[in-house]
Each structure stands twice: as structure tokens, then as C-alpha cells.
Structure 1
Amino acid sequence: MTDVSDIVTDSITPVADTGVSRREEHFAWIDVRGLDDDLRDAVMQAAIHQRIDGIVSDDLMLLSDLPPTIRRVLAIGADTATDEVTEHTVDVILIDAAASAATPPAVSTEWGTQLVVSDARTLHHACDAVRAVPWTVLTFTDPTKIPLEIVIAAAENSGGRTITVVNDITDAEIVKLVLEHGSDGLLLSPSSADDVVTLARVVAHRDEPVSLVELTVTGVEHIGMGDRACIDTCSLLETDEGCLIGSFASGMFLSCSETHPLPYMPTRPFRWNAGAVHSYVLVPDNRTRYVSELRAGQPILAVRSDGTAREVRIGRVKIERRPLLSITATAPNGATVNVITQDDWHVRLLGPGGTVNNVTELKAGDRLLGCVPVESRHVGLPITEFCDER
């Protein structure tokens, strides 16, 4: 029997520094320790089906029955027998750093440590560990995310990976985004198999690029007064970043953020002067919403002129009566698309290469950027059905 214990990180050879930024991919581990048999079995089946990266258990036999598609993580304490542990039965040996005095087992399997961060001393220990240990599982006792931010910064460009224990799915979504790239991994003890499915979506979520096309302007018309909306976000936007907006679900224009100089007022680099309140706007998960429905805190999709996209949150929507301008264009597939904007020089739409076009200077033949979805929409969701928009 090999006893395992507290790891003195000063005596450990640091993980190799790759010299490159850490991976942006996130992964999830499921902790099945302490779950009753029925729940554990359901959770493990869900984890395998959802391609969760790893399962953590203190039962060697339980892990040895898992398929090779999932990482087998054996959590051990000071009195755990490791005679039967090999690289063929588990993939990672996780040592409890609160146990008493020893070293990692003498097997070629990768190993890691579990740490509880509760004060300055344990935070310092965690910062040492993430630079020296291949896998570091962290439990934070305080609700603030500042200790996690410090540990993530300490791990920057090291070869080690951090796995943060999360309390629930909401906590997982927050931890994933701490310091922008968040903890590498999330460890959850699920209360149901549904938690596993949701956690898999949290770690896998990425904003897919939007396929943009060139739209050719065919007409510009002053149409009088109406209600238009400004969308103020909680993010600073790039000079070629906009939201996709239009009168029809069959085609939307790439509006321009207010990041470019204005003659009589400062720039508003968080804002789109979006369009009339009836307009569709593209939000994450390939959904649309009416501009008039948008509220503070909701997500919206910010799209750059090369099609790359990210989710940003709405801080405020301002609806005001203004003169309006109707802009009609033709898409490459022959579809007619339209957007109604405020009738003012400072409102802009983006064109090929990120060119900035003041709406009051547009004329027939000008080229703009937009997208032309192939589906119709019903309550914002794509649906294959006949729909004639005019």
C-alpha cells in the first residue's frame, strides 16, 4: 500500500512552459462521490452520452469499467491503496492536499491535487500548485471570484490546468468567464442527469461565425417619423462590429457601432443606433428578436465584418421618435431585403472590408454587408415554411 498526502509544491518539478497562451477550450468533470447508486448510474450514463471529459470517483472498480472515451479520475486520500492503480485502470490520480505526508504514487499515470482556498496562505499554495502540477482541482470557500482570478493569472502560460469546483449551473457559467478565458475545467456534483446535459452545453458553447454576403442597394427613401431604438451594450465594440438587423427575417444588414468620430458629440463605443422598433435583430443560437422586445441583461450577437461573432449583453435599450429612412437592397440569391433606420448622417451600415457607410449618403449600387438566412421565422425560431415578407 502506498500512502498519499500533502504535496509540497516547492519540491515538484514545474510543468513545462509551452511559451504560448493557454487553450481557450473548456471541459467538464463530473464528481460522482457521495451520489446514491441510482443517481450515480444515471449521471455516468449521461456523462458518457454527452462526451463529458472526465468522471471523478474514489472507487477504482467503478472507473475501470468506463469506456476509453471518458477520462477516469481517481480521487485518493492518505489511506487509499494504490497497488492496483496503473495507466490502464485510470487516467488521472487526484491527491487530496489536505491528507498527511507523502508523494504521488509511483505509476506513470498523470496526477493532480485537490486544494481548498480559504485564506491568503491557501491562495498562495494554490498559485504554486497550478504552476507545478498537471491538474489542480480548486474549491473556493468565499463567494468572491477574486481568488480564482489570481489563480488563473498565476497559471497563465503554464502547462498545468485548473479545474474549479462549481455549486450549480449558474456558478459554472460565471466561472467559465472569469478573466475572459475562465477556469480550464469545471467540476460539478450533479443533482440530476439533466445537470450533466446542461453543463455539457455550458462548456461547449461557442458563437459560430455568421455567413455574410454583399447586398446591393436598390433604393433609399425618406418615410417620415417613427420609433427607433438604440441598443447600448455592456461591452466596448470594435470599429467593424455591428448587430444584424432588418425588416425581414429573410435578410438583415450589418449595422455599425458608434465607434467612429462624430462632429458634434463623443463616440459611444458600446452602442448601435439599430433601427425601427419592428426590426428583427439576430441573437445567439440562431434566433431573432424584435428590437422592441429587447431588455437590459439579455444577450445579443455582435458580428464583425469578417463574420466572427460573440455574445454581448444589453445594458439598455432607448426608444425615441425620429425621422426614418427605408433602405432596400438585393441579395446575391435575388431576395429583396430592407432595413429602416434613423434618418441621420451619423447612423452607419458596414460594407465589404469593414467600410463605413453613412445611411444618408447611400445610393443605388452601393454595396453593404448582411446575412440572408435560408429559413423563415416563427417566434424568433428558424422554421421551414412558406413566408412572404414585403
Structure 2
Amino acid sequence: MTQCWLDVRATGELTKEICEEALHQGLDAIVSDDPHLLATLPPTVLRVLMSDDPEPEGADLVITTGEPPATGPSWGRYVEVTDPETLAVACASAARDAFTLLRFADPTYIPLEIVLASAAGASGTIITVAADPRDAAVQHAVLEHGPHGVLLAPSRVGDATRLRAAVRTTTPELALVPLRVTAVTHAGSGDRACVDTCAMLRPDEGILIGSRSRGLVLCASETHPLPYMPTRPFRVNAGAIMSYTLVSGERTAYLSELRAGARVLAVSADGRTRPVTVGRIKIETRPLLSIDAVAPGGEPVNLIVQDDWHVRVLGPGGTVLNSTALRPGDEILGCLPDADRHVGYPIDESCVEQ
């Protein structure tokens, strides 16, 4: 998990409130040049002193701009990367030192990629300075895993919370259940949506889709071979445009609402989830197929998809099932959210969907 560090050297009269917020949010480290301030912080947070004093006091870790001493307290090095020469210094520190704090002068992530690649396999911790929470989120994804942590200098109360949210977004594991198909019927013609993502979806991965908010079916991605056309591992031929899909652990959206840049949940057959970015939604008029199923507890589930053999859903164990070949008694995988929805949010109210 990416560490969140907060630099309070320039927070002035807001320092006390910002430190309290950082502690409440469970941030990993607070950075200051004031050892007296650090001494007031609890041991639940790493107290980091920015100092070139050879004999510093009152900190768990000291970051210096020079060569860290070989003895004494825990030391790390600060490097500002402005050119090839300082990039080489940063790479050497990241590969050798226990802690390396980096600031990159130019608005490109290529130097960070080089540092991360050069330090692959090293045991030290790399922390990078982020301009704002958005920048922190981007750094978090560089070379898939990013640095070990990001440091933000907050300008106001609330930045610590925004930083934590930017780099520690998690999605829950879902309890998928087997649904027993009860009927498969032609449903005339209508508009269906393909969800094209900016990710390579795995063979056992898809998107949860359903006609009712309390019953969703795991629709497969086009990672599996098809006759007459190449695979499209970024795509899920999802369903009719009024269908629900999960865009986070709690919130749903209609397929018709999705746009380029939106997020949806990719879900694997074992319930693991991850957010993926939508690159495009393709809405086209096609023949439709209605699939009715029932959950183990008797809850009804419906899915309307394009009426074509190549549109697939996943069954228990990640079995790939062609939608037009489904028959009553077959089992497909689904999810049963425990709340009705209002504008996509779960809500406790009486709601009938049929």
C-alpha cells in the first residue's frame, strides 16, 4: 500500500489542525524541520525531521540533502532531480539508501520511471513529492506500482484527507453466488452497450450487469476466442442500455450514463474487483435476449443482452457460457446487492423492480 507523508514545514498557524487531521486519517509520516513539533506527535506516525544537523534529536527518521551518515539514527537522503546528473544521484540513492525522498522539477514522469527501474530489487523506501492529490494519484500508478510513498505539502485543512483518498482507493471483494437460469427468451430489438475499457481484462474477469439493482450477472469480457473476428480483451458486450452496473463497491450507474473517462468495477469469478477506466461506450441497435434466473434465496434476477452466440456470461469457477446456449437449470454467476438505488446510491426505501 502506498504510504502517505505530509510536509508541515510551511503550514503556519494551521499546523496543529493539519497534524490532527493527518493522525485521524492514519497517514504514515509527518515531515517537519522543527524537532519540538515532532516530539509532540504520537508514535503511531513516523516523525521525519528535515535537517543537515549531524547530531539531530527528536525524530524517528532524518532526511538530509547530503550523504547520510553510516551510523546514528535512521537517515535518508533528499534529492531534487533537475537534470541527468541529479537523476544519476537519485538512482544511486534509491538503490543504496534506506530512504530516498525525491522531488522532480519537470512535469514528466519519465525520471521517476527511471529511478523506480534502477532500484528494482533494492530494499530501500522511495518517497516522491507530489504537487497535489491528483499528482499523487498519477505517481501512485507509475510502472504499475509507483513509489513506496508520496509526500504532499498541504495548503489547507482537508488536503490530508484528499491525499489519502487519492492513493488508497480500494475496492471490496464481492460475494458472488450461483444463479439458476429459469428462462431464456427473445426480447425484440433495442439498444445495447459495449463497454470498452482502458485495461486488458483477464479471461475470468468481466462486469456485473443487471436489469434490477438487487440482482447482477457477471458478463464476460471478449478475451475468449471467437470465430470470424479477433478477440477484444478490453471489451464487455454488456447489455441493454437501461441496465445497472457497479462503478464502485456501493454505487451503480446505468450503462447509458457511462462516458469516456468514467470508472467501472472489473470483477473476477472469485469476487476480486478492481477499478478500470472506460475508454468508450458503443451503443447500437441489436436483437435482444432476456435471461431470467433465480438466486439460492429465491430472489429473481434478469439480464438483457444482445441476442448473439458470442455474447457470454461467466459461470461458477469462471466457466465461459454463450448466452444463446443457456438453458433452464444452467448456473451463472451473479451478485445480490443488499439495497435499492436512488441515482446510483444505496437507499433504504420501498422499491419494486419487475
8 Å contact kept, 1:95–1:104: no
- 1:244 partner letter: L
Give yes or no for contact 1:376–1:384 (8 Å, CA) kept in 2.
Answer: yes
Give the root-mean-square deviation of aligned CA atoms: 1.2
Which residue of 2 is the match for residue 162 of structure 1? 126
Question: What SS class does the counterpart of residue 309 from structure 2 fall into?
Answer: coil
Match of 1:41 among 9, 16, 21: 16
Query: Counterpart in 1 of 2:55?
Result: 82
**Offset of residue 103 of structure 1:** 4.9
Query: Superposed, which structure 2 residues align to 1:92-131 within 5 Å?
Result: 92-97=61-66, 103-104=68-69, 106-107=71-72, 109-131=73-95
Please give the secondary structure, in 1, of the residue aligned with 2:167: helix
Scaled by the length of structure 1, the TM-score of the pair is 0.89
TM-score, normalised to structure 2, is: 0.97
Written as runs of structure 1 = structure 2, the 5 A alignment for 1:246-257 is 246-257=210-221
Alignment partner of 1:237 out of 193, 201, 206: 201
- Aligned to 1:128, what secondary structure does the other structure show? helix
Q: What is residue 5 of structure 1 aligned with on the other side? A: none
Q: Equivalent residue of 1:316, what SS?
A: strand
Aligned to 2:44: 69
For structure 2, list consecutive stretches of 5 or more residues without a partner in the other structure. none
The residue number in structure 1 matching 2:192 is 228
Report the secondary structure of 2:193's partner residue: strand
Unaligned runs of 5+ in 1: 1-24
For 1:248 and 1:154, how far apart are their aligned partners in 2? 50
Q: Report if the CA contact (8 A) 1:230-1:271 is conserved.
A: yes
Query: 1:334-375 deviations in whole A, cap 9, x for unaligned?
Result: 100100000000000000111011111101000000100111
Amino acid at match of 2:60: D
Deviation of the 1:203 alpha carbon: 2.9
Alignment equivalent of 2:160, drawn from 189, 193, 196:
196
Secondary structure, in 3 states, of the residue corresponding to 1:126?
helix
3-state DSSP of counterpart to 1:193 = coil
Q: Which amino acid aligns with 2:3?
A: F
What one-letter code is carried by the residue in structure 1 that aligns with 2:34?
Answer: D
Aligned 8 A contact 2:237 2:311 in 1: yes
**Maintained 8 Å contact 1:31/1:188:** yes
Counterpart secondary structure, 1:114: strand
Q: Deviations over 1:5-51 (max 9, x none)?
A: xxxxxxxxxxxxxxxxxxxx111110011221x21111111111111
| Cα distance in 2 between the residues matched to 1:181 and 1:166 | 16
Aligned to 1:31: 7
Distance 1:103 1:144, change over 3 A: closer
CA distance in 1, matches of 2:319, 2:169: 30
In the alignment, which residue of structure 2 is the partner of 1:209? 173
Measure, in 2, the Cα distance between the counterparts of 1:325 and 1:277: 13
1:27 partner letter: Q
Question: Which of 284, 292, 296 is residue 328 of structure 1 equivalent to?
Answer: 292
Matched residue count: 354
